[in-house]
């Protein structure tokens, strides 16, 4: 029999954990998997669990939100022999799962992955050697992702973020003096938002970028200088009608190396929806391709260069 470890976050989403284990066990029996279950209990557990799993596993099934997947990828990057990962989205927004082509039904998702899933090498980005799956961002309002109370997310789902964001948007917009190095260029200035991403979907919005590939050894960088709410609302409107590179208030790049250094104040970073406890003022972004994930077959042509 094949071997699988199921690493799941009991606090993600609104599902019934006992029902989840019962249904998953039946499905694993059908597909001839010898399964073991590893629930997380606190922040960072998924990293430690996956870092210490045995090497002979055929696959690790990660069930949770984007933050749980982030921890799992970090744990895998700490291993000498990386494991193949499959992902079931359990969280509130589930940007990564939706991008991959997964649904809100974990039974359907399991069948999609186990019956027709394709193992693909994916790019994993790093900020100062800490891995992230789809987004690292800093600047104004990014704390909404990790400061929105869990009790609100449990009760209201995605609307909880909207409710919390409305409170945040009344605050003044700050700008941060910094310098960055990218594609052999060095640039300095004041910026209000910085996004480093490897995704076509952020905060529930699809189609942020035209042609994102998960295996091109590149990531996208966006810097915004606008410091008043009217300009930012204008940019949000323009995103519906223009490409990022055509918006004059935006500096947009596609690259595999990016360095940024803040002159004075360092704003908090949000990585895959969670707060990144950073030290220092300099941040170096890189990418590697040593992680395998089982992906839904239907989006392979859209998301990957190598067919």
How confident is the model over 67-115, as pLDDT tens digits?
Answer: 899 999 999 999 999 999 999 998 666 788 888 989 888 899 999 999 8
| 201 and 171 assigned to the same domain | yes
pLDDT for the residue numbered 188: 95
Q: Which DSSP category does 245 fall into?
A: G
Residue 63 sits in a domain of what CATH number? 3.40.50.10330
In-domain check, residue 307? no
**DSSP sequence for 12-47:** STT--HHHHHHHHHHHHHHTTEEEEEEE--STTHHH
List 197's β-bridge partners, or say none: 135, 220
**Residue 268 in contact with residue 142, Cβ under 8 Å?**
yes
Taking CA 274 as the corner, what is the angle to CA 280 and CA 132, rounded to the nearest 5 degrees? 75
Of the candidates 219, 216, 197, 212, the one whose C-alpha atom is nearest the C-alpha of residue 306 is 216
Q: Could you give the 3-state DSSP secondary structure of residue 216?
A: coil
In-domain check, residue 255? yes
Of the candidates 168, 170, 169, 188, the one whose C-alpha atom is nearest the C-alpha of residue 178 is 188
Q: Is residue 159 over pLDDT 60?
A: no
pLDDT for the residue numbered 267: 85
Range of the domain at 83: 2-124+289-301
In-domain check, residue 184? yes
The whole model's pTM is what?
A: 0.86
In-domain check, residue 89? yes
Q: Is residue 24 over pLDDT 60?
A: yes
| 173 and 249 assigned to the same domain | yes
Q: Is residue 167 over pLDDT 70?
A: no
In-domain check, residue 81? yes
Residue 161 sits in a domain of what CATH number? 2.60.200.40
- Taking only the tens place, the pLDDT of each residue in 212-242 is 899 999 999 999 887 777 777 777 767 777 7
| 72 and 206 assigned to the same domain | no
| 280 and 256 assigned to the same domain | yes
Q: For 276-298, what is the mean pLDDT?
A: 91
Q: Assign residue 171 a region: left if phi > 0, alpha if psi is -120 to 50, beta otherwise?
A: beta
Q: pLDDT band for position 209 (50/70/90)?
A: confident
In-domain check, residue 215? yes
| 165 and 283 assigned to the same domain | yes
| 228 and 187 assigned to the same domain | yes
Domain count, the chain: 2
Nearest-angstrom CA–CA distance, 285 and 182: 10
In-domain check, residue 28? yes
In-domain check, residue 306? no
| 19 and 90 assigned to the same domain | yes
| 295 and 268 assigned to the same domain | no
| 293 and 150 assigned to the same domain | no
For the chain, what's the residue count?
307
Nearest-angstrom CA–CA distance, 41 and 217: 34
| 100 and 185 assigned to the same domain | no
Residue with tokens 């905060």: 203
| 160 and 281 assigned to the same domain | yes
| 58 and 150 assigned to the same domain | no
């Amino acid at each position: 029999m094949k071997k699988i470890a199921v690493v799941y976050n009991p606090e993600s989403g609104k599902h019934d954990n006992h029902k989840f284990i019962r249904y998953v066990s039946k499905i694993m029996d059908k597909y001839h998997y010898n399964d073991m279950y590893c629930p997380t209990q606190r922040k960072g557990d998924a990293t430690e669990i996956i870092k210490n799993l045995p090497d002979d596993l055929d696959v690790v099934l990660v069930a949770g939100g984007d933050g749980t997947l982030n921890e799992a990828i970090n744990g895998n990057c700490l291993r000498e022999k990386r494991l193949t990962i499959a992902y079931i989205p359990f969280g509130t927004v589930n940007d990564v799962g939706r991008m991959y082509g997964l649904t809100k039904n974990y039974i359907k998702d399991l069948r999609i992955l186990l019956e027709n899933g394709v193992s693909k090498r994916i790019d994993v980005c790093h900020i100062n050697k800490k891995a992230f799956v789809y987004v690292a961002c800093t600047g104004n309002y990014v704390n909404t992702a990790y400061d929105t109370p869990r009790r609100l997310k449990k009760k209201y789902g995605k609307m909880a973020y909207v409710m919390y964001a409305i409170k945040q948007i009344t605050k003044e917009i700050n700008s941060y003096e910094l310098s960055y190095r990218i594609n052999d260029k060095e640039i300095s200035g004041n910026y209000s938002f910085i996004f480093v991403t490897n995704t076509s979907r952020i905060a529930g919005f699809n189609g942020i970028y035209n042609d994102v590939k998960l295996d091109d050894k590149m990531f996208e960088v966006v810097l915004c200088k606008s410091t008043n709410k009217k300009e930012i609302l204008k940019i949000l409107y323009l995103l519906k009608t223009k490409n990022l590179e055509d918006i004059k208030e935006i500096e947009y790049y596609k690259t595999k190396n990016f360095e940024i250094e803040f002159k004075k104040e360092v704003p908090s970073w949000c990585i895959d929806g969670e707060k990144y406890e950073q030290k220092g003022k300099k941040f170096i972004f890189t990418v590697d391709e040593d992680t395998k994930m089982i992906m839904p077959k239907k989006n392979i042509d859209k998301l990957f260069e190598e067919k």
